[in-house]
Amino acid sequence: MEIAVVGTGYVGLVTGVCLTEIGHYVTCIDIDEDKINLMREGISPIYEPGLSDLMKKNIDEGRLTFTSNHSEGFANKKVIYIAVGTPQTKEGKADLQYVEKVAADIGHHINNDVIVVTKSTVPVGTNEKVREIIRELVNGKFEVEIVSNPEFLREGSAVQDTFHGDRIVIGADSDKAASVLEEINRPFGIPIYKTDIRSAEMIKYASNAFLATKISFVNEISNLCEKLGANVEDVATGMGMDDRIGNKFLKAGIGYGGSCFPKDTSALVQIAGYVQHDFNLLKSVIEVNNDQRRLLVKKAKERFGNIEGKRVAVLGLAFKPNTDDMREAASITLCEELIQSGAEVVAYDPIAIPNAKKILPQSIQYADSVENALENADFAFIVTEWDEVKNTELDVYIKKMKTPVIFDGRNCYALEEAAKYAVEYHSVGRKTQFGI
């Protein structure tokens, strides 16, 4: 099928490329001419494993094209996907200006009947607004149907998730439109759940809010475990064996980040407020997460008293491994607090340093390896659980650091392993380990 996808961020580009891989012909549209030129060469502007290879393959086979021209991109397309950002406003709401701009562009430039599919995460009722904008502009010349088709991709495994997801949600008020979307997605071989538009919009927010709740819950349990002498990993394993709970998203750490959970939890609180519902549970989830991001600095200050003048190695900057995304990363809060406390920060990340430099304080130094970041450090923070970090032997800390004191925000090392080395090892939800 001939399809257009507007927006070439994580969601739009992955969606467009993967649709070509199952046989559709896709034109990806973006207003950034430099990005368009880059992508025409098969170069992905985002770091996502496997994406560039699929881009090159489908460009070469003639199924994937790129343009910044909406008239060209929409010409003769039966289906148009909206996959632009909905960033968080200062008030915590989803900013819909980009979605509404695309709706207007569709209304101005289409030349045939279309089904408009919203992949962007949008508040309940947004798809109806999109339909209203487009229909008003086309003024009855063409038939316009709207479908909500939320994405459930994880950065760092987005391509894998597209082909091996748990479900595809299709929200539509038209059986015809729903059937077209079902046919488009059938080759993925993933269970399809059809519902109404508003329920589909809500499924996305409810899913992310629930997962964020699990993360904040286990982090609160981890803080309690430290005070009571329990091991949060054992507690989480025992909990996860219960089918009613499940073992996913029960890993204690220094909070969630990225482009989805922080934004979507805040947006859902705002959505609830519009209908005079005080979502106290979700407010607490957000508060717990904000506090958890500061955990390592709190531990360091408890250990050293004053960290002014201390040299700190920060290992990992991206909000999670296998991505260069710095949005709402715990490293931002940690680095800012370290600098404010007078510490000297040397940071390392295998991918995210270029993006980090745009956000983090200018006084931060950057290393080109774990070993160089650790050189002469008074203590180290493990912030992102990159394989490179997890696979670093503990004797490297001993050899490189002034004092081998480690604050591990991702529990990368087993306590039994830390006990074999002359390191002081602080982790999350577990007892402090003093090695031999």
Q: Catalytic positions, please?
A: 260
**Dihedral Cα 134, 135, 140, 143, nearest 10 deg:** 80
**Dihedral Cα 278, 98, 260, 126, nearest 10 deg:** 40
Beta strands in 139-262 (DSSP E): 144-148, 168-172, 192-195
Q: Which residues share a beta bridge with 79?
A: 3, 115
String of b and e for 6-44 (b: at least 16 CB within 10 Å)? bbbbbbbbbbbbbbbbeebbbbbbbbeeebbeebeebeb
**Nearest-CA neighbor of 83 among 137, 4, 20, 21?**
4
Q: Tell me how far apart the alpha carbons of residues 222 and 72 are, in angstroms, rounded to a whole number.
A: 54
Q: Which residues share a beta bridge with 356?
A: none
**Nearest-CA neighbor of 379 among 400, 405, 397?**
405
**Nearest-CA neighbor of 159 among 7, 15, 318, 60?**
15
Q: Is-contact 407 379, C-beta < 8 A? A: yes
Coil vs helix vs strand at 66: strand
Query: Cα dihedral sign for 359, 364, 367, 369?
Result: negative
The end-to-end CA distance of the chain, in Å, is 64
